[in-house]
Amino acid sequence: MRDSDLVAVNVRSSRYWIARVSHRCLHCAGATSAAALVLPPAHETSSFIEDPASSAEADRWEHAPRCAVLFHIGRLPAEVARRLTAVAPGYRLAVGDGIRGRHWANHCERCDCLQEDDALFCEPEGAFFPISSAGARQIELVEVVEEIEAFAAGYIFDPPFFEFAVRK
């Protein structure tokens, strides 16, 4: 059994976008690429619930009305990981501590340091949190029409770059 088999799926979609941007490494300040997954409106999210009638546990799937960017990803299909690595060679499994454990993350192509998801996705002026439309236009979106099922502990509705990003 692989580690990824132990992590439940909590998002799924019939298609997705790969977002890519060049940014400054958080450690060496060199230019490096970063990748992210963006799910379209109508993707599905799962809530893990207990069924009181049967004392069983089940997943409840709901349609999400808006697009979302994923991070702190614990489970990712091999084909999706291959596509992400093709656009951002430093995107690979990282070993973390605490709740994150092993997760997919960006690493600097120059110094190999982990590019923390919180800094890339949650901090203003992070690679995927531009504060201007000009910054958002630096992000490229490539649509991939194939199914995806993943587990993501980080999930942001309507990422601030989505409206202005360049679609290819």
Domain spans, the chain: 3-167
Single out the residue of 71, 66, 76 nearest to residue 153, CA to CA.
71
Task: Express each pLDDT in 88-140 by its tens digit.
Answer: 999 999 986 655 578 999 999 999 999 999 999 999 999 999 999 999 999 99
Task: Express each pLDDT in 59-69 by its tens digit.
Answer: 689 999 999 99
Neighbours of 107 (CB within 10 A): 20
Q: Are 61 and 44 in contact (CB under 8 A)?
A: yes
* Distance, CA of 24 to CA of 126 (rounded, Å): 9
Q: Are 12 and 63 in contact (CB under 8 A)?
A: no
Q: Using CA of residue 9, residue 10, residue 15, residue 16, what is the dihedral sign?
A: negative
Strands 68-75 and 31-39 come out as antiparallel
pTM assigned to the model: 0.86
Residue type, 93: L
